[in-house]
């Protein structure tokens, strides 16, 4: 008996060649956040952004884009008329459009499709929805039929989401976090840090087993055995005091290092979320000790 696979169950093939993407969004914060997130997708070659579609045809003539992600309110005029106009010109004949909107009801999708829009992103968006919209927009002419959907990033995000420190982070924020933090690998028997070291980072154990140890005379005492998802080293970056114990890799370990500069950048939504989660983790530890 032949097994049937629905469209929703199929994995979409990623592009066989890198894409150049342009963002048109009058909101600078939204525009820059999306730009940072797109850089975390492996089939993106370059990303440009503009606050409005002014002189768009002249820009495309000198710097063509495979896909334009445009906000429902592009800053001037009607977005559907704009898309029709651009796609009617030879310079943008192969350029595809993705519409971003808070409301993506049937009427919006119908009007968008009629105008020539091929992909849709509902705000607030997750990385997976942005990636799917790009793949949908370029269609079979630019997709590699035998290419596999990249699973590495999805697996990494799924692992991070299980970490209490990163709970509440969107896919886009996690991708950005990975770009500004370091992932480090330690072989068994190595120390992530030693007692007395200056503490400028906290760490999250992603894989392996790690021990927090304390040396008392000739004896080494294991204070805590860390498991994947556990956070350690956060006290030193809060009180700016030296490390109080050793962090020892009992097996090969993978950790994410979050530098204090990321946490102290208090104008960034990521740093604010990190500070809040650190406070929650410390409160839980205090309650367990009382």
Query: What per-residue confidence (pLDDT) applies to 149?
Result: 32
Closest by CA to 74, choosing from 90, 85, 66, 65, is 85
Query: What per-residue confidence (pLDDT) applies to 16?
Result: 57
Tokens for 164, please give them: 């209490």
Q: At which residue do the structure tokens 């933090």 appear?
A: 181
Distance CA(17)–CA(60), nearest Å, equals 19
Tell me what the mean pLDDT of segment 128-150 comes to.
62
**What is the Rg, in whole angstroms, of the alpha carbon atoms belonging to the chain?**
24
Average pLDDT, the chain: 80
Tell me what the mean pLDDT of segment 101-105 comes to.
88
From 90-99, 122-131, 143-152, the region with the lowest mean pLDDT: 143-152
Answer yes or no: is pLDDT of 73 > 50. yes
Query: What per-residue confidence (pLDDT) applies to 17?
Result: 67
Provide DSSP, 17-51. S-EEEEEE-S-HHHHHHHHHHHTTSTTEEEEEEES
Answer yes or no: is pLDDT of 150 > 60. no
Q: For the domain with range 153-289, which CATH number is right: 3.40.50.740, 2.40.50.140, 2.40.128.20, 2.60.120.10? A: 2.60.120.10
Answer yes or no: is pLDDT of 185 > 60. yes
pTM exceeds 0.85, yes or no = no
Tell me what the mean pLDDT of segment 83-110 comes to.
87
Answer yes or no: is pLDDT of 144 > 50. no
Same fold, 11-142 and 153-289: no
From 106-115, 246-255, 271-280, the region with the lowest mean pLDDT: 271-280
Answer yes or no: is pLDDT of 104 > 90. no
Answer yes or no: is pLDDT of 276 > 90. no
Query: What per-residue confidence (pLDDT) applies to 151?
Result: 52
In the structure, what pLDDT confidence band is assigned to residue 146 with cuts at 50, 70 and 90?
Answer: very low
Question: What residue spans define the domains of the chain?
Answer: 11-142, 153-289
Tokens for 257, please give them: 């290092």
Tokens for 162, please give them: 């299980």
Question: Around Cβ 134, how many Cβ atoms within 10 Å?
Answer: 26
Give the distance, in angstroms, between the CA of residue 268 and the centroid of all CA atoms in the same chain: 15
Query: What per-residue confidence (pLDDT) applies to 208?
Result: 92
Q: Which helix (H) or strand (E) element contains residue 137?
A: helix 127-142
From edge to edge, which strands make up the β-sheet containing 191-193? 191-193, 246-249, 210-216, 219-226
Answer yes or no: is pLDDT of 12 > 70. no
- Ramachandran category for residue 189: left, alpha or beta (phi over 0 → left; psi -120 to 50 → alpha): left
Distance CA(209)–CA(227), nearest Å, equals 6
Which range scores top for mean pLDDT: 55-69, 133-147, 251-265?
55-69
pLDDT digits (tens, 9 = 90+) for 196-242: 998 888 898 988 999 999 988 788 999 999 988 888 988 877 777 88
Q: For the domain with range 11-142, which CATH number is right: 3.30.2080.10, 3.40.50.2300, 3.40.50.300, 3.40.50.920? A: 3.40.50.2300
Query: What per-residue confidence (pLDDT) applies to 83?
Result: 92
């Amino acid at each position: 008996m032949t097994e049937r696979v629905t469209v929703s169950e199929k994995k979409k093939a990623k592009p066989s060649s890198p894409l150049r993407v342009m963002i048109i969004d009058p909101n600078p914060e939204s525009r820059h956040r999306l730009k940072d997130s797109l850089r975390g997708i492996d089939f993106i070659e370059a990303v440009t952004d503009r606050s409005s579609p002014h002189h768009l045809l002249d820009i495309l003539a000198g710097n063509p884009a495979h896909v334009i992600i445009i906000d429902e309110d592009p800053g001037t005029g009607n977005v559907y008329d704009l898309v029709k106009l651009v796609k009617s010109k030879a310079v943008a004949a192969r350029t595809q459009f993705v519409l971003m909107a808070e409301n993506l009801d049937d009427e919006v999708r119908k009007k968008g499709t009629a105008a020539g829009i091929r992909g849709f992103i509902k705000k607030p968006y997750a990385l997976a929805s942005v990636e799917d919209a790009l793949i949908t927009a370029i269609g079979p002419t630019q997709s590699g039929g035998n290419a596999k959907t990249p699973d590495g990033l999805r697996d990494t995000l799924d692992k991070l989401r299980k970490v209490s420190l990163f709970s509440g982070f969107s896919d886009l924020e996690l991708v950005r976090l990975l770009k500004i933090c370091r992932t480090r690998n330690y072989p068994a028997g190595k120390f992530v840090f030693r007692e007395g070291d200056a503490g400028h980072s906290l760490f999250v154990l992603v894989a392996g087993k790690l021990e927090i140890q304390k040396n008392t005379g000739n004896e080494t005492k294991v204070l805590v055995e860390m498991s994947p998802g556990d956070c350690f080293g956060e006290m030193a970056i809060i009180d700016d005091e030296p490390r109080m114990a050793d962090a020892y890799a009992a097996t090969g370990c993978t950790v994410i290092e979050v530098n204090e500069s990321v946490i102290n950048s208090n104008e960034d939504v990521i740093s604010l979320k990190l500070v809040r989660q650190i406070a929650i983790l410390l409160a839980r530890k205090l309650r367990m000790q009382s």
